[in-house]
Structures are given as structure tokens and as C-alpha cells.
Amino acid sequence: MRHSLRLPGVLRVALVAGAALLAAACSDDSSDGTTDPGPSGAKTITATLAASGEFTTLTAALEAADLDGTLAGAGPFTLFAPTDAAFAKLPAGTVEGLLADIPALTRVLQYHVTSGEVDAAAVSASASVATLLGVAVPVMVEADGTVVLNGAAAVTSADVVASNGVIHVIDTVLLPPDDPPPSNTITDIVTSDDRFETLATAVAAAGLGDTLAGDGPFTVFAPTDDAFAALPAGTLDTLLADQAALTDVLTYHVVDGEVTASQVVGLSEAVAKNGVAIGIEVVDGAVVLNGTVHVTITDIVADNGVIHVIDGVLVPPPTIAELVATDPDFSTLRAAVEAAGLGEALAGDGPFTVFAPTDAAFAKIPEADLQALLADKAALTDVLTYHALTGRHLAAEVTGVTYLTMLNGAIAPIAVSDGARIAGASIVATDVRARNGVVHVIDTVITPPPTIAAIVAGDDRFETLLTAVQAAGLADTLTTGGPFTVFAPTDDAFALVDAGALQALLADTAALTDVLLYHVIDGVVPAAVAVTLSEATMKSGDQIGIAVDGGAVVLNAEAEVVATDVWARNGVIHVIDHVLMPPSP
């Protein structure tokens, strides 16, 4: 199938006369340096064409497009060379039109040239041949063996050897497909849609036009002119005068990747190109961003992504430090952060999740104790870093786990049986978004619990266990190591062990250590998880059997868990009524 060329109107001059003039203009190739006898005496492609006499129009066209020097170069090249008769098949005036439109002529000629030497056998074996134009020429072999290019041009003579490549003679000029459709990038859409005049101005002022016309793909939440008009007076002018701030705002409307409407509704947030998360929720069937901005039109498809139209401008939220500094409910927290020197950290990149106690929460602490805490920087830092953890953890994620490991390394249990709580404090507001994370508001200041070793030492149910831990030299491990899950036998549990055997065990450090490590699991295994297990590997390397009998957790069919989830700084303790003995070697 032949593709038509769209050319400007030209004077219609007889093709034969024009070809004769062109042939005369290039009848002598001896002065252009295109002959190169080489070891075989072959000429360059350019010289071969000029010497043949069949390619006067092609030769003239190559000269006009300044490609004759290219085809006289080192190469190698493969040229599909249309004869003068092939050019004569074109509609009247076509050749003249091409010679008057050098870009169009260059496209046509590049569609006839392949980089590298591709012989007839390789052409016949291919479905298409790449060209210098960047558009492949389709290849078809007919039943009689004739090779046809582009559905119309038959190869009439193949493998004409030149010093810098090979020529295949064809009987029809190859016309490349029509030019690709006009560009339809995100920048094109924004600049051509009268709903986005202000956005287009802002994109240009920020120098983001080329970015949004690039490969992408991008997803853009595009505010309309009305959305910009709703900003407080003077805000837009201030932004347009501050390129850095404007860029920050605009890139807060762009997400890497193509996120269609059907995908957006399944998200709780999306991280924009400025690194800040956009909150996403579906309210009454409508997508709402950051709680206030509505998506009004979806899935405007661009070449490099997709646009969703929004009715408000998304403004990046403050940092956690800025939020704490400006919210009147956090004046005591602000003072505590300043006293601990943590303001810079909470203004950093993060992201962080902060459980922020209100002034009312701090008011629950006796005044003298609060002042003492504010005056003790180390203790204050420990308490404050027990209110934060790395990463952005929204409420849905927080309430889906049984504990969190906070910035100070201490475990904070999560409970949801009577409202969401962390370490006993009620979470009264969630998902307050900040530039560098998220804040959840709590009604009580939480303090890190003691270590496993400290709990054992301070509980009179575990005097024998404490003696054993100290005898085995494990006190430091249970103080600084972890996190661990410890099945802690009470004094009554040790009393069930033969007295002589117990004394012998306490005197044998290696055996005692093995027994004690048979009560410890690496990691945190709350009761809710333990009841789902049938066995666990202890730190001694041995397995322990776990079963649920009558609602109680039983270990090795003997030791019953009588109290669960005693939370420690470095793990959790479950109290048991028998000492566990590892299997004999």
C-alpha cells in the first residue's frame, strides 16, 4: 500500500525535463572524491550511483539533501536505490516538491538507507528493515521469490557491491508513513486547555514545561483557574515571584507513574514528586485529596501520563516541627521538644510517625514530676523518642499491629479492644499529615516500660528466676539485648523442680544457660500471635510445642501460660507455671 506525501504546491514541471537537468548537473563525479578503488576496485555508494546512469534523480536528491557525502563515507550502509523510472512513477510535481522541501526530502531519503551492510539473503529473511529515519521498512517475499518493500517496491537487482556497503535496486520510491500525530503531552494539554491558564502560567514560571513534556509517565492533579482563584488574596502572586516555593507547590501535584482513577480509589496516599505524601480518601463516591480538595474530572490521557482535574490547590503541609510549634494544643510538647533539642530532627526529612500528647495529656503528670522531667535532658529525650518511630504509619496500619518499635528502641504495645491505644494512651485523632510524616494525637504521655531484666528483678514472683538469670550471667542480655519473648516461670514453678536437681542446675552454668534460653524466643510474640502457633524455636536452638487447651496456652503439654503480654522495653513476658526443660541430647 503506497503512502501519500503532503507537499506544498509547486510549479508543475515535466519530470523528464527536470531529471535530464539534474543528470547533467552531476554527470561528472571525478571531482567529488567519491571514488575509492579499494582492494577490489569498488566505488563508494555515491560514486556507484553516479556512474550507473540509472540514478540521476536519486543522485540529485542526495546532493540536495546533503546526503551524498554521507553515502561516500566510511559506512557501511545499505541503500535501497530507486531508479529514474521509479521516480518517474511519482505523481507529477512530486520530485520538484521534495527538492523544494529539504526536511521532507531528507525523510524520504533516510527511509531508503540502513546502517550496516544487509545483503539480499538477510533482507529476505527479515519482516522489516530498520532505516536511518528510525522507521522500519516492511519486507514481504512473494510466491515467486520477489522481495517487495513497503508493499509496493520490488527489488529488481540485489547485492550491488560498493566499497562502503551494498546497493539493492528497487522499482518504486519508498515513501515513509505520515508524520506522527501532534504531540499531546501533559504540558501540551495544560497549555491548550482554557481551564488551566493559571496552571500553564505557573508551570512556565517554575520552568517545569519541559519536565511535564518529558517521557514520564506522570500523574498530574491539575487545579483549574477557579481553584487558583480561591487561594487567599496575594498568595498566587507571591508564589509566582518565588520560583522555589512555586516549584514545591506544583511538584506536590505530580506523582511519578500513571495512576488512573480506578487505581487512585484504592490508595490511602500517594507520594508526590516533592517527596510529600498526598492523602487520598473516597467520600460519598468522590475522591478527596488532603481532606478538602475534590477530584472533579478523571483520566484525561496524555502521551506521557494522565491528568485528573481538581477543584483546589494542594499546599504542602508543614513539617512535624512546624505543626507542633504552631498548634496551641501542643505548647507543652513544644517546650519539651525544645528542651530536648529535638526540633531540628522533627524538621528533617524523615519520614516520622509521632504520637503527640496534648497539653491536657501533660497536665496529668504532677507538676513537680513534669518539671523534673523537663530538667533531665536524657530522660526527657528517652520519653519523647518513645512517642515517635521512623516511617509514615497511618492509623489503618497502626491499628493492624500488636506493637511498634519506637525511635528509642523500646516496644510500645497497640490495643484496639476499647478504642485504639498505644502503651495505654488513647489515640484521639489520627492521620494529621505533615511534610515529613504523620501525627496521631494521644491523651496521655507514654513512658518507656522497664527492661525484661528489670521486670524480673522487680517482681517478687520471679525471685528464683532472678537468681538463675544472675547465675547464668544473662542479666545484661535481658537488659540491653532483644527484642525477646520470655516465658517466665514463677517461684512456684521452680518449687516443682526437685530441690537437689535445682541446686545442681544453679551450680552448672552451661546447663543453666541452656535451660533459661529454652524459655526465650528471639523477637516479639504477643499472646495473640502465640495462640496461632503449634511450635516455636527457642534461643537454645530447641523446639517448643504450643497448644491451646480450654482457652489456655500450654507449652510442651505441661506448662500453662497463666499471665500474658507483660510488656517490657525490649520485648514481652508471658508467665508460666512450670519450668521448661529442653530435650536431652
CATH architecture, domain 320-442: Roll (2.30)
Annotate 556-578 with b (16+ C-beta within 10 A) or e (fewer): beebebeeeebbbbbbbbbbbbb
pLDDT at residue 16 in the model: 29
Q: Under the phi-then-psi rule, with left for phi > 0, alpha for psi from -120 to 50, and beta for the rest, what region is 349?
A: alpha
Nine cell digits for residue 136: 522500519
Please give the backbone phi and psi of residue 536, each rounded to the nearest 5 degrees, phi first.
-150, 150
Question: Which CATH number fits the domain 15-170, given the four candidates 2.30.180.10, 3.30.450.20, 3.50.50.60, 2.40.170.20?
Answer: 2.30.180.10
Cβ 330 vs Cβ 359: under 8 Å: yes
Nine cell digits for residue 101: 522541501
**Segment-wise mean pLDDT, segments of 10 residues, the chain, 585 residues:** 29 28 34 41 88 93 90 90 93 88 91 93 91 90 90 92 94 85 88 96 97 96 97 96 97 97 94 95 95 96 96 96 95 97 92 97 97 97 97 94 96 92 97 95 98 97 97 96 97 96 95 97 95 95 94 94 97 98 80
Helix H or strand E segment including 282: strand 277-283
Closest CA to 131 of 109, 110, 155, 105: 110
Domain with CATH 2.30.180.10 in the chain: 15-170, 186-310, 320-442, 452-576
d(CA 167, CA 350): 63
Cβ 559 vs Cβ 576: under 8 Å: yes
Closest CA to 331 of 392, 268, 374, 276: 374
Please give the backbone phi and psi of residue 47, each rounded to the nearest 5 degrees, phi first.
-65, -35
d(CA 106, CA 263): 44
CB contact set of 492 (below 8 Å; sequence gap of 6+): 577
Q: Is 206 helix (H, G, I), strand (E, B) or coil?
A: helix
Domain at 452-576: CATH code = 2.30.180.10
pLDDT at residue 45 in the model: 92
pLDDT at residue 34 in the model: 40
**DSSP 8-state class, residue 4:** P
Topology adopted by domain 186-310: FAS1 domain (2.30.180)
Closest CA to 225 of 253, 193, 196: 196
How many Cα atoms occupy the beta-carbon half-sphere of 116 within 13 Å? 8
Average pLDDT of the residues of the chain: 90
Nine cell digits for residue 252: 506536590
CB contact set of 354 (below 8 Å; sequence gap of 6+): 320, 346, 387, 388, 437, 438, 439, 440
Nine cell digits for residue 409: 528502641
Q: What is the pTM of this model?
A: 0.67
d(CA 336, CA 368): 15
pLDDT at residue 29 in the model: 38
Q: Is 355 helix (H, G, I), strand (E, B) or coil?
A: strand
Cβ 289 vs Cβ 310: under 8 Å: yes
pLDDT at residue 350 in the model: 87
